[in-house]
């Protein structure tokens, strides 16, 4: 399975937070799954850090690179697909994650129940 991490799932994984479900934790840890991280997740974290809403370690980016996650860049096709989504979710970062997952055929690891409202999106964790 190709697991696509939502922002809070990444943060919970890195922090070993007990809020991360056993199902999602096992899926991320399994060598049988490819774990994918969108550049939009890094963008969201850095914006929240700059606004003082989130604290991450100074070596945060190095930690990410050492996790061995596959990185997914934002393409023009992804950007265009955001406009095709119904407005179930207004968060621009989440909308990009949804658009990327739909186009790339990825399963999103998230606790956000709104993601399930989108056709063509597979969700793990809710």
pLDDT of residue 112: 95
DSSP string of the chain?
-EEEE-HHHHHHHHHT-TTS-HHHHHHHH-TTSEEEEEHHHHHHHHHHHHTTS----TTHHHHHHHHTPEEE---HHHHHHHTTS-TT---HHHHHHHHHHHHHT-EEE-S-GGGGGSTT-EEE--
pLDDT of residue 45: 97
pLDDT of residue 89: 86
Instruction: Determine if the pTM surpasses 0.85.
Output: yes
User: Considering the chain, what percentage of its residues have pLDDT values greater than 90?
Assistant: 97
* Per-residue pLDDT at 126 exceeds 80: no
* Per-residue pLDDT at 56 exceeds 80: yes
Domains and CATH numbers, the chain: 2-124 (3.40.50.1010)
């Amino acid at each position: 399975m190709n697991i696509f991490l939502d922002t809070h799932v990444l943060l919970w994984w890195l922090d070993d937070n007990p809020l991360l479900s056993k199902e999602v934790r096992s899926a991320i840890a399994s060598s049988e799954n490819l774990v994918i991280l969108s550049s939009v997740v890094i963008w969201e974290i850095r914006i929240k850090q700059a606004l003082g809403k989130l604290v991450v370690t100074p070596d945060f980016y190095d930690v990410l690179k050492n996790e061995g996650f596959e990185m997914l860049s934002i393409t023009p096709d992804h950007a265009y697909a955001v406009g095709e989504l119904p407005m179930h979710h207004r968060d621009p970062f989440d909308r990009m994650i949804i658009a990327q997952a739909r186009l790339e055929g990825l399963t999103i690891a998230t606790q956000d129940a709104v993601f399930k409202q989108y056709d063509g999106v597979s969700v793990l964790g809710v």
